[in-house]
Amino acid sequence: MKGLEGKVILITGGASGLGKATAVRFDKEGAKVVIADIDEKGKTLAENLQDAIFVETDVTSHEQVKHSIDTTVEKFGRVDIIFNNAGIDGEQKPTGASSIENWEKVRQIDLDGAFYYLKYGLEQMKKQGGGVIINTSSTAGLVGFENIPPYTAAKGALVQLTKSTAMEYAEHGIRVNGIAPSVVKTALVEHFIEESEDPEATEAQFNELNPMPGWIQPEDVAAAVAFLASDEARYITGHTLPIDGGYVAQ
């Protein structure tokens, strides 16, 4: 992909799932990779990439978020791309039955953590004269999705935050976009299936969820992130790209 070689990308939630697939993709593109995650599996992943580091980071802590960005700049001199990807789905209950604790936990990881990376990442990118931030939303942030209210709220808020931030920082050479995957075969989705009332039925439903048959793979999402981060997308900002096999077109 044009313009990714030598770039520095910081990936939150980079130890597994979409983050891991994106780390591997950018490594193949010749980028320098920073894996920010609370899971120390990210350290092993970094050791297996060409030019990468792991920074243990809890995205609910704005101090740790700032530290991960500062560490990136100390190591590589700049941060060109931030893939704002860390997230959880939380418990499965309708809105009125959802616990306050679950609401706060999901919001803190999925929305507050993304805001912290925007806040500190934008400051750094302004200093260096530009950059790209890509936020992981979801099809559940674009259309209604039952029984995960804090997740849908956080992902929907990210769509709007992406738009407003893109407008604010376009003049500084900073592009801000989002992605909205449908169901992707990751540990997060497997956890969702296992925690559902009828795991077998839920998996069967997901198998037939999108108009295009089959499961979306993490590598499909990584390819979209690579495109949005690349020079090929230099005039694309403020958009959230569905990666959904036609799900939201219905």
Q: What is the pLDDT at residue 193?
A: 83
Q: Find out whether 166 and 238 touch, Cβ atoms under 8 Å.
A: yes
pTM for the model stands at 0.94
Structure tokens at 218: 């993490």
Q: Which amino acid is at 223?
A: A
Tell me what pLDDT residue 147 has.
92
Q: Integer distance in angstroms from the first to the last C-alpha of the chain?
A: 31
The domain ranges of the chain are 8-184+217-242
Residue 32, classed as helix, strand or coil, is strand
Mean pLDDT score across all residues of the chain: 95
Buried/exposed code over 194-222 (b: 16+ C-beta within 10 A; e: otherwise):
eebeeeeebbeebeebbeeeebbebeebb
pLDDT digits (tens, 9 = 90+) for 198-223: 888 888 888 888 999 888 999 999 99
Q: Which residues are catalytic?
A: 151
pLDDT tens string 120-155: 999 999 999 999 999 999 999 999 999 999 999 999
Residue 192's pLDDT is: 77
Q: Is the pLDDT of residue 2 over 80?
A: yes
pLDDT at 189 over 80: no
Pairwise CA distance, residues 66 & 89, whole Å: 24
Q: What local confidence, expressed as pLDDT, does residue 213 receive?
A: 84
CB 131, CB 26: distance < 8 Å? no
Tokens 């997308």 sit at which residue?
A: 233
Quote the distance between the C-alpha of residue 4 and its chain's center.
18
Q: Higher confidence at residue 195 or residue 114?
A: 114
CATH architecture of 8-184+217-242: 3-Layer(aba) Sandwich (3.40)
- The SS3 assignment for 89 reads coil
Instruction: Pick the closest to residue 114 from 70, 65, 169 (CA basis).
Output: 65
Please give the C-alpha separations between residue 41 and each of 22, 181, 184, in angstroms, as whole numbers. 15, 24, 20
For residue 171, the one-letter residue type is: E
pLDDT, tens digit, 9 for 90 and up, residues 14-44: 999 999 999 999 999 999 999 999 999 999 9
Q: What is the C-alpha separation between 51 and 33, in angstroms, rounded?
A: 6
Tell me what pLDDT residue 11 has. Answer: 98
